[in-house]
Structure formats: structure tokens, C-alpha cells
Amino acid sequence: MAILNILNYPDPRLHMVAKPIKEIDATIRHLIDDMAETMYDAPGVGLAATQVNQHIQLILIDTSKTKDHLQVFINPKIIAKSGEKEYEEGCLSVPGIYESVTRADKVTVEALDRDGKKFTLKAEGLMSVCIQHEMDHLLGKVFVEYLSPLKRNRIKSKMVKLQRDR
């Protein structure tokens, strides 16, 4: 396994739309393992393949306190949403930035697991937020795009400066 490089906002590759995964093979499972190691090392609770410059429909989430309940979503689709709630979100691609975003409180998602088995999950609270946040990455959207243009530009400037200072 390996720690992968996480793209930082405003990298244009974060705005690429991910393609569906046609076959779940050893390469995909290896990527899942590398992404899991990367996410836990960061540390984060979710990671989309887009964030590690792989533009395929794959997200990982682990909201457990013990960091031992990895959930893999391949080709995820939200099939139902309800309610609305504001949550403070952060992102491994926008390190150190936390802002409130309004999202659906509950979602139902269909996806394939790492073995290609289809499943349906009803999620609420943090898990619901994570699913929506990570699926946005697959659509080429970063959470700061929900913010006002002023806030977004401030964050963009801060991120560009951080990358320059490295």
C-alpha cells in the first residue's frame, strides 16, 4: 500500500467529472487500499478518487471513532434525499478550512462494494454529509463552491499562497 498525493484546491483536476467503473479488478482493489491508507493518514473521514487524481466513480468513507469501519462506494447514486441541515465541513483537498454548508439531512444511496456487490444504504447526519460531499467530488465540485463568491475567493487566495510557500 502507498500514501497517495491529495490534490489541493484550486487544482483544475478537482473539477474533472469522474467516469463509471466498468470492472472491479485487482487494480481497483489496490487503489481502494491505497486510498484507505491515504485517508486514514491524512487524517480524514472520506476520500474520493478524484482527490488522488483518479477520475473514476469511487469514494471511501469511515466515520467511526475507531477508524475500522471503511465503507467503499463504487458508482454511487443518490436515489432519495430528505430534510435539510447545515453542517460544518472540511476537506482533505482544502486543508485547514472549515465552513458551514447546507445539505440534505438524509440520503439513500445505491452503490457497489469492493467485491462488486450492489447495496443500498440509508444515511443521516455525518454519514449523509460525507456521502454528498464525496459524491460532489465525482461531479467535479468542491465544497467551497457552495460558499459566497467572496468567501470562495478568499479561500482560493489562501490555498494558492500556501502552495507557493511550500
Return the bridge partners of 7, or none: none
Distances, alpha carbon 80 to alpha carbons 13, 14, 89, 127, 143, in Å: 29, 26, 21, 14, 20
Closest CA to 83 of 63, 102, 109: 102
What span, in angstroms and rounded, lies between the C-alpha atoms of 127 and 147? 21
The yes-or-no answer on residue 145 being catalytic is no
Catalytic annotation, pick one of 37, 88, 124, 134: 134
Max Cα distance, the chain (Å): 45
Catalytic residues: 134
